[in-house]
């Protein structure tokens, strides 16, 4: 074995799940819009909670040019930050 084989690139991904998560994060950074399920996955929230905020009009659902229903990541982050602040003051 070559000596440099043991010094693996730290950017390499260990599993397919981590690779999928990395791709979702890259999409969020580049496009700024994700499906509610993808948003929940990268933020560690339950998808039901994201859909709850959509139903209560805290987060606005948009239609992407590809036809998918998406949410704006920055606006969703702001909505969750606001709900966290509201919960702490009560």
For 1-60, what is each residue's pLDDT tens digit?
Answer: 344 434 444 466 578 888 888 888 888 888 899 999 999 999 999 999 999 999 999 999
CATH code, domain with 73: 1.10.10
Alpha helices in the chain (DSSP H): 16-30, 36-43, 47-55, 73-89
How many other β-carbons are positioned within 10 Å of the β-carbon of residue 64?
Answer: 12
The residue segments making up the domain with residue 39 are 32-90
- Total domain count for the chain? 1
- pLDDT at 84 (0 to 100): 82
Q: What is the pLDDT of residue 13?
A: 59
Determine, yes or no, domain membership for 24.
no
In a domain, 83, yes or no: yes
Residue 78 forms part of a structural domain? yes
84 found inside a domain: yes
DSSP state of 58: S
- State the pLDDT at residue 19: 87
In a domain, 88, yes or no: yes
Q: What is the pLDDT of residues 51-84, one digit of tens each?
A: 999 999 999 999 988 899 999 999 999 999 998 8
């Amino acid at each position: 074995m070559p000596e440099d084989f043991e010094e693996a690139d730290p950017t390499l991904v260990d599993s397919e799940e981590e690779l999928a998560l990395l791709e979702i994060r890259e999409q969020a950074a580049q496009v700024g819009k994700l499906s509610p399920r993808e948003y929940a996955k990268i933020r560690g929230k339950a998808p039901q909670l994201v859909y709850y905020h959509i139903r209560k009009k805290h987060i606005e659902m948009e239609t992407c040019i590809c036809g998918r229903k998406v949410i704006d990541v920055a606006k969703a982050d702001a909505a969750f930050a606001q709900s966290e602040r509201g919960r702490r003051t009560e």
